[in-house]
Copies of this chain bind each other. A is one copy, B any other.
Amino acid sequence: MTVYGYSSSGNCHKLRLMLTQLRREFRWVEIDSTSGGTRTPEYLAKNPNGKVPMIEADDGRIMTESNAILCWLAEDTAFWSGDAWQRAQALSWMFFEQYSHEPYIAVARFIRGWTPLDSPRRADLPKLRERGQLALAVMELHLQQHPWFSGGDYGVADIALFAYTDVADEGGFDLAPYPAIRDWLLRVRRTPNFIAMPLPPVEAASRIALPD
């Protein structure tokens, strides 16, 4: 299987993390989505929506959308277990991640690290910070009562939510007010064969180090 992804993208790292934890073999093709890598005719022919990650099976079949790929990889494993209700609850958190979490927490990080310091998009940061904090508060409330987002055990929804929550500070989010989230991040980091997302590229890291 081939994964097309940008290593500094949380959506892409989700796949690297789960594949590593499942001890599955894969080939990684680095696609820099921040500099047009998903807009080439070759890439668009495979994924007309022009986003990473994407997987290509050995028979050439394509699948897109990080969280759908996670579900496919997790089928018949402990990462997406339980009855239909429990599996749908994991999906519920994964839809929450894509609709109420990633568009604020990941996008704030992207703007801080991957846009010029004079980008007009930086004016969006206060609003993104506010909406992202609402998502963190919803997660905190859940984690005060439950150890994981995927039912009784660590699994698909934890991987989906971990990716950008673990680097929320790079978007300017302070996790100090969310002790249950901080504990959960530590629990995820201690799962077998855990692999962290690489540090951002130097130019992005130097922008992230600056105040807004």
Q: Residues of A at under 8 Å CB distance from B?
A: 48-49, 51, 61, 63-69, 71-72, 75-76, 84-85, 87-89, 91-92, 94-96, 98-100, 102-103, 134-135, 137-138, 141
Contacts and interface: CB of A to CB of B under 8 A. Distances in A.
Nearest to A47: B138
Contacts of A138: 48-49
Nearest to A11: B99
B63 A89 contact: yes
A89 B63 CA distance: 7
Contact of A48 (B75, B91, B137): B137
Given A63-B88, A94-B95, A99-B103, 14 more contacts: A48-B137, A48-B141, A49-B100, A49-B135, A49-B138, A64-B92, A64-B96, A65-B95, A66-B95, A68-B89, A76-B84, A91-B91, A98-B98, A98-B99
A67 B85 contact: no
Contact of A72 (B67, B68, B88, B141): B88
Contacts of A49: 96, 100, 134-135, 138
A134 B71 CA distance: 26
Contact of A63 (B92, B134, B135, B137): B92
Given A48-B138, A103-B103, A138-B48, A75 B88 contact: yes
Contact of A71 (B63, B66, B88, B102): B88
A72 B102 CA distance: 23
A87 B84 CA distance: 14
Contacts of A69: 88, 92
